[in-house]
Structure 1
Amino acid sequence: MARYKDAVCRLCRREGLKLYLKGERCYTDKCAVTKRAYAPGQHGNNKRKLSNYGMQLREKQKAKRFYGVLETQFRKYFEMADKQPGITGDNLLRLLETRLDNVVYRLGFATSRPEARQLVVHGHFTVNGGKVDIPSYLVSVGDVIAVKDKSKASPKFKELVEAAKATTPQWVSADAEKLEGKIVSLPTREDIDLPIAENLIVELYSR
């Protein structure tokens, strides 16, 4: 299973904003974007005006990095979104939002999407009572995502119960005591709070 293995803080610096890939560290003064608010590399301080293609590319890269998806899989999501009725850009973000790792993060059971991905891969979650360890698993309305009974006693999830202050989006409901959540509805564009111009991604793939 392919995944990005280099320093994730470089990704935030490259996009010029916090992608919240390091959990609580991103909210402190140790955040790389706070300390060095310019792109990595020896020419990182050089300001260049982006072409239309450059802006489209940056939006695609930003979306990929927010959700932890590599190029081949991201293109597959776009192709799926393009075949669905409705607005392609909205469909694309909806598919990305309904990935299991993102849902675990949205429910407040992880402090970042990379951490949520790791917890899913390690088999800590069930969907409708069955173990699912595939981060890209797409959930549906009515699905119940829960921490496995054996995992509920771990210090990690006990801390989450005590510090569960995250506000969950309207399309999911979470029960911090039971460590489970439910998909109430599919997310709309208004439910997705990420600064992504999905229309530029559609333009890029439509070239």
Structure 2
Amino acid sequence: MARYTGPKTKIARKFGEAIYGEDKVLAKKNYPPGQHGANRRRKTSEYGTQLKEKQKAKYTYGVLERQFRNLFEESARTKGITGEVLLQLLESRLDNVVYRLGIAPSRPAARQIVLHKHITVNGKVVNIPSYRVKPGDVVAVREKSKSLEVIADCLAGFNHSKYPWIEWDESKKGGKFLHVPQREDIPETIKEQLIVELYSK
């Protein structure tokens, strides 16, 4: 499956949550898309509920099916609670860290900024969105990209104390990835246990 580039509101309405950020249409139409969306009363099966949760996580973090399965398999091999480890691995992706730092308005925008070589990790340009950021790494805007209007607009007024696992340095226009976030600190409303149950079948 190729990366989804269609209407974001359609996906947000499918899950009933603003997974791509603030959405005016979702506020007015908080029911599934389609001709019978408002009147659909079909009961979802246990498998359907688990699948929906996995799809929601994939769309939220912008990860493809094979990447997601590989991350799940890695989290299953890692010491700790599998579902929590999975979310921690997703949070450690470079595009997600760029988004959390407020350098980009959304994860798809953060992915594009990374691909266009505007981001450095420990002073070296990295253009791989799935790059795994490790504790102690410094993620910053590349020197010649600091004047970009889209980045400057995003950083203006952003609350950099929002996420306790990242420390922002205004002079460097970058942040230090202090540690892997704890589950209670990750704001996403994903029910990771349902994903674990789905893959454990």
TM range (shorter): over 0.9
**Residue 13 of structure 1 pairs with residue 13 of structure 2:** yes
Residue segments in structure 2 that go unaligned for 5+ positions in a row? none
Q: Distance in 1 between matches of 2:10 and 2:176?
A: 34
Q: Distance in 2 between matches of 1:82 and 1:167?
A: 31
Identity %: 51
Amino acid at match of 1:164: F
1:10-30: CA deviation from partner (whole Å, max 9, x where unpaired):
110100111025xxxx26xxx
Q: CA deviation at 1:167?
A: 4.1
Q: CA deviation at 1:139?
A: 0.4
Q: Which residue of 2 aligns with 1:107?
A: 101
Q: Which residue of 2 aligns with 1:125?
A: 119
Q: Paired residue for 2:63, among 64, 69, 90? A: 69
SS in 2 for 1:165: coil
Q: Distance in 2 between matches of 1:118 and 1:138?
A: 17
**Residue 55 of structure 1 pairs with residue 63 of structure 2:** no
SS in 2 for 1:57: helix
Q: CA deviation at 1:176?
A: 3.4
Q: Distance in 2 between matches of 1:109 and 1:20?
A: 16
**Residue 35 of structure 1 pairs with residue 28 of structure 2:** yes
Q: CA deviation at 1:71?
A: 1.1
Q: Paired residue for 1:145, among 129, 139, 149? A: 139
**Residue 154 of structure 1 pairs with residue 148 of structure 2:** yes
User: Using a 3 Å threshold, how does the CA distance of structure 1 residues 37 and 183 change in structure 2: closer, same or farther?
Assistant: same
Q: Distance in 2 between matches of 1:86 and 1:111?
A: 32
Contact preservation (8 Å) 1:81, 1:89: yes
Q: CA deviation at 1:43?
A: 2.4
Q: Distance in 2 between matches of 1:166 and 1:19?
A: 21
Q: Number of residue pairs matched?
A: 200
Contact preservation (8 Å) 2:161, 2:167: no
Describe how 1:161-200 pairs up with structure 2 within 5 A. Answer: 161-165=155-159, 167-200=161-194
Q: Distance in 2 between matches of 1:35 and 1:193?
A: 23
SS in 2 for 1:150: helix
Q: CA deviation at 1:160?
A: 3.2
Amino acid at match of 2:3: R
Report the TM-score, using the length of structure 2 for normalisation. Answer: 0.94
Q: Which residue of 1 aligns with 2:129?
A: 135
SS in 1 for 2:37: coil
1:180-205: CA deviation from partner (whole Å, max 9, x where unpaired):
00011111111111111100000000
Contact preservation (8 Å) 1:15, 1:39: yes
User: Using a 3 Å threshold, how does the CA distance of structure 1 residues 166 and 11 change in structure 2: closer, same or farther?
Assistant: farther
Q: Which moved further from structure 2: 161-170 or 97-106? A: 161-170
